[in-house]
């Protein structure tokens, strides 16, 4: 997978994960009143998730290939 594709994938995955997790956790902690604070939580969470994904993704791929190696063509 090209580096550009990996970065694009990380942008999309972290966007959706930060959006969903900040919404779910906000709702769990504050109920419906979380909606007013959700944008700030999301804007804070997304860059953190993106940076963490840049560090964790290579490790996750290595571990996944060790546990379940891709089949040979």
pLDDT at 72: 63
**Residue carrying structure tokens 């953190």:** 48
- pLDDT reported for residue 3: 86
Q: How confident is the model at residue 5 (pLDDT cuts 50, 70, 90)?
A: very high
26: CB partners within 8 A, 6+ apart:
34, 35, 37, 38, 41
Distance (Å) of CA 65 to CA 18, 20, 40, 60, 62: 26, 28, 37, 9, 5
Q: What is the pLDDT of residues 25-38, one digit of tens each?
A: 999 999 999 999 99
pLDDT at 73: 54
CA 40 to CA 43: how far, in whole Å? 5
Mean pLDDT of the chain: 92
φ, ψ (nearest 5 deg) of residue 72: -85, 140
pTM: 0.78
């Amino acid at each position: 997978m090209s580096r550009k594709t990996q970065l694009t994938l990380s942008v999309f995955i972290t966007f959706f994960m930060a959006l969903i997790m900040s919404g779910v956790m906000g709702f769990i902690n504050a109920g419906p009143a979380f909606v007013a604070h959700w944008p700030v939580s999301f804007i804070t969470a997304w860059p953190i998730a993106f940076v963490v994904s840049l560090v964790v993704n290579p490790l996750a791929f290595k571990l996944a290939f060790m546990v379940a190696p891709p089949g040979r063509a």
